[in-house]
């Protein structure tokens, strides 16, 4: 079995969707969630879904080896970021080279970088008068939103588009494509 661990800070809709996608998969399973605060929506979702969930605070994340130790201890094959707010420490990137993947709710390299998260991204896209937006699924390196792009999917903005409507339409794309790219990535790494 290949083990996925999903890191998040927020509501956890992508994390839950990925759990459902791999529920009966013959060779891939979601082994655990990792959240950076106990109040994150994904903590409650983990309980509902019967998925183990670890919470690591900022000190544990940046000043100790505990996250790498935890991930290696449960034989993690792929680290999946789903709405994870913090920069991934160099130590974690070194421990999982090309095995950390992120999803961003816009067409990188536009509308990425520090602070560009969730609804702020959609607001910025609307304010910039963009004609299209989409999703970017990419490998993670030491900089926010800058690793190799694995897949992008685009949509045209409607004339009456709002940040809220765009967020909903983007979420549909995220749920449709993120599990597929994860599956392809794990097939590639075993091949």
Interface with ligand GAR: number of residues (CB under 6 A): 16
Q: Cα(63)–Cα(122) distance, rounded to whole angstroms?
A: 33
Q: Does residue 175 have an active-site annotation?
A: no
Question: Smallest gap, in angstroms, from Cβ of residue 102 to ligand GAR?
Answer: 6
**Is residue 138 close enough to count as binding ligand GAR by CB under 6 A?**
no
Instruction: Tell me which residues in 70-129 interact with ligand GAR (CB under 6 A).
Output: 82-83, 103-105, 116-118, 121
CA angle 181, 183, 27 (to 5 degrees): 175
3 state SS of 54: strand
Report if residue 35 touches ligand GAR, rule: CB under 6 A.
Answer: no
Cβ 139 to ligand GAR, closest distance in Å? 14
Is 8 an interacting residue with respect to ligand GAR (CB under 6 A)? Answer: yes
Long-range CB contacts for residues 66-69, cutoff 8 Å, separation at least 24: 67/34, 67/92, 68/92, 68/95
Cα torsion through 145, 154, 111, 127, rounded to 10: -160
Q: How far is the CB of 56 from ligand GAR (least distance, A)?
A: 17
What does residue 25 show for φ and ψ, rounded to 5 degrees?
Answer: -70, 140
User: Binding ligand GAR by CB under 6 A: which of 5, 6, 7, 12?
Assistant: 12
Q: Please report whether residue 141 would count as binding ligand GAR according to CB under 6 A.
A: no
Catalytic residues: 104
């Amino acid at each position: 079995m290949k083990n996925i661990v999903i890191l998040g800070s927020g509501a956890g809709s992508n994390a839950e969707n990925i759990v459902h996608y791999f529920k009966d998969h013959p060779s891939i399973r979601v082994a655990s969630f990792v959240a950076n605060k106990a109040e994150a929506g994904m903590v409650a979702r983990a309980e509902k879904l019967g998925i183990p969930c670890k919470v690591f605070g900022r000190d544990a994340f940046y000043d100790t080896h505990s996250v790498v130790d935890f991930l290696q201890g449960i034989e993690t094959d792929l680290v999946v970021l789903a709405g994870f707010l913090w920069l991934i420490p160099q130590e974690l990137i070194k421990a999982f080279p090309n095995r950390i993947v992120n999803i961003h709710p816009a067409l990188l390299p536009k509308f990425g970088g520090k602070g560009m998260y969730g609804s702020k991204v959609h607001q910025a896209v609307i304010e910039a008068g963009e004609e299209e937006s989409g999703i970017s699924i990419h490998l993670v390196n030491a900089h926010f939103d800058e690793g190799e792009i694995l897949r992008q999917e685009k949509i045209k903005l409607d004339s009456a588009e709002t940040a809220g409507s765009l967020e909903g339409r983007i979420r549909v794309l995220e749920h449709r494509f993120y599990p597929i790219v994860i599956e392809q990535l794990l097939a590639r790494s075993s091949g």
